[in-house]
Amino acid sequence: MHKAEAPAEPLIIDDDEPPSSRLAIDTLYPAPPAGQPAIQLTRPVFILPARKTSSLRYPKLSPETKAFQKQFFPGSTARDWHDWQWQVRHRIHTYDRLHQILPLGPDECLADHAVQLPLSITPYYAGLIPKDVPDHPLRRCVVPTAGEWVKMPCESDDPLGEDHQSPVPGLVHRYPDRVLFLLTDFCSTYCRYCTRSRVVGHGGIRASRARWEKAIAYIAANANVRDVLLSGGDPLTLSDDRLEWVLSKLRQIPHVEIIRIGTKVPAVLPQRITPKLVKMLKKYHPLWLSLHFTHPDECTPDTRAACALLADAGIPLGSQTVLLKGINDSVPVMTQLMHGLMKMRVRPYYLYQCDPITGSGHFRTAIAQGLEIIRGMRGFTTGYAVPTYVVDAPGGGGKIPLMPDYGGSHTNDNLVLTNYENRSFTYPDPMPVQG
């Protein structure tokens, strides 16, 4: 998968040079047209001295991270740790290696070799998981358990019916004006509840230019497609050059208005968000990013730095979260996650009911639980912090939003509503006159 990756980028990359004082004066007071007098400055222009930019983009390694790195990746440096390609090369993808780092419990040992989705965890993400907390939420997200063997009658490998809405391999056209374009099946870290576990990590949707060209030709031939969502796998695990090739081709299609990228990279591999990548991405605006977050412990200083780079480049950031039993299925945890995201300038977007994917029963909550979480947030915190709770309808029906019941009964031309504190209010709303 990574044979084709570009060689490692240098860690220390300065941003663009700040303008010199001379350049700033020339910009403020350009030369007058021929024949007109030059503007005379009556007093010296105060130009701020060029700001010294720090070449260190990421926070210093914490003592805990240093100890973790020293114990499990001896000989590696801080520079290695901040290099996304080092992180990918050193991902944990065998059970023996995982057992060294996070000693496995009986349920986890049973999962060995038999599960559909491969094992992969970046050193960075593994370092966030305390080894002596067997049920730690981040551990449950990425360490397989025997629960993945259990297939419930309601479950299937393709519950959203994507394979039936795929006019070309790796492209799903479900809604009239937008398509889902799966660029790669590779992720640096695999989420155990992944909706696309049938294809992710198996080589089913290879990152090949021949396949991409077919998908791009389909988009070019369908003038109603104004929005392209790039997903996978994780598109940001591709090299800058390969990703730019796709973005530039899409930007040549006049009817493609916006491009979105779905990624979990800022949570599991924040080192990937380099100034060079961001500089490339911002050439293809309007470009939006949908970031996948699961738990407040993912809002680390490194992730904050990555989101800051993206937000500073004018890339709107939205979040997607899957509701997961024992991981984020409570009002306090969900609220803390959404607050953490807002502080990183990531707008909470969707909270997904966990899809009935094969082997996901141990992750799924009742829908009533999701509604209670929304009820416990709406009105109690900033409206922006409350995501839209959706069920992705099995069989390809698309996302259906769900809201707690806030009343809405009509009596005598009045609508009776219940607020977040369970108090009733009446809004004048005359019934339409018949005939």
Closer CB to ligand SF4, residue 234 or residue 298?
A: 234
The answer to whether 354 is a known catalytic residue is: no
Q: Is 66 exposed, middle or buried (0-12, 13-18, 19+ CB in 10 A)?
A: middle
Contact assessment for residue 403 and residue 368, using Cβ atoms and an 8 Å cutoff: no
User: Residue 80 or residue 355: which is nearer to ligand SF4 going by CB?
Assistant: 355
Give the C-alpha separation, 191 to 269, whole Å.
13
CA dist., res. 231 & res. 346, Å (int): 18
Give 191 or 229: the residue with its C-beta nearer to ligand SF4. Answer: 191
d(CA 402, CA 374): 9
Residues that bind ligand SF4 (CB under 6 A): 187, 190-191, 194, 196, 200, 232-234, 264, 292
Query: Could you tell me where the DSSP H helices lie in 313-393?
Result: 331-343, 367-377
Smallest distance, Å, CB 119 to ligand SF4? 11
Minimum CB–partner distance for residue 32 and ligand SF4 (Å): 57
Looking at residue 168, its amino acid is V
Is there a catalytic annotation at residue 211? Answer: no
CB of 7 to ligand SF4, least distance (A): 25
Q: Which of 91, 139, 196, 260 is catalytic?
A: 196
Q: Is 187 annotated as a binding residue?
A: yes
**Minimal distance in Å, beta carbon 298 to ligand SF4?**
12
Among the listed residues 178, 242, 260, 364, the single catalytic one is 178
Annotated catalytic residue within 15, 66, 157, 175: 175
Task: Report the nearest approach of ligand SF4 to the CB of residue 122 (Å).
Answer: 11
* Distance in Å, CB of 405 to ligand SF4, minimum: 31
How far is Cα 355 from Cα 334, in angstroms, rounded to an integer? 19
Whether 384 is a known active-site residue: answer: no
Which amino acid, 432?
Answer: P
Distant-in-sequence contacts of 3-6, Cβ < 8 A, 24+ apart: 4/239, 4/242, 5/85, 5/88, 5/239, 6/239, 6/240, 6/241
User: Could you confirm whether 187 is annotated as catalytic?
Assistant: yes
Chain-centre distance for alpha carbon 49: 38
CB of 105 to ligand SF4, least distance (A): 22
Q: Which of 191, 299, 307, 354 is catalytic?
A: 191
**Helix, strand, coil percentages in the chain from 3-state DSSP, rounded to 5:** 35, 15, 50
Choose between 80 and 181: whose C-beta lies nearer to ligand SF4. Answer: 181
The strand ranges marked E within 186-279 are 227-231, 258-263
Token pair recorded at residue 54:
């720090």
CA distance 259 to 244: 12
Q: Which lies closer to ligand SF4 via its Cβ, residue 194 or residue 337?
A: 194
Buried b / exposed e over 347-376, threshold 16 CB at 10 Å, is ebbbbbbbbbbbbbbbbbbeeeebbbbbbb
Please, what is the minimum distance in Å from the beta carbon of residue 177 to ligand SF4?
A: 23
Selecting among 80, 140, 187, 206, the annotated active-site residue is: 187
109 marked among binding-site residues = no
Nearer to ligand SF4, 80 or 302 (CB): 302
- 275-280's contacts with Cβ under 8 Å and 24+ in sequence apart are 275/13, 275/15, 275/57, 275/309, 276/9, 276/13, 276/240, 277/236, 277/240, 278/309, 278/310, 278/312, 278/313, 278/315, 279/313, 280/240, 280/243, 280/244, 280/247
Does 399 qualify as catalytic in the annotation?
yes
Using the minimum distance from each CB to ligand SF4, give the nearer residue, 249 or 264. 264
CA 267, 209, 216: angle at the middle one, nearest 5? 85
284 versus 363: smaller Cβ distance to ligand SF4:
363
Identified catalytic residue from 174, 211, 325, 375: 174
Residue 174 among the catalytic residues = yes
Which of 185, 297, 302, 355 is labelled catalytic? 355
User: Exposed/middle/buried for 318, CB within 10 Å: 0-12, 13-18, 19+?
Assistant: middle
Report the catalytic residues: 174-175, 178, 187, 191, 194, 196, 355, 392, 399
Residues making up the annotated binding site for [4Fe-4S] cluster are: 187, 191, 194
Residues making up the annotated binding site are: 187, 191, 194
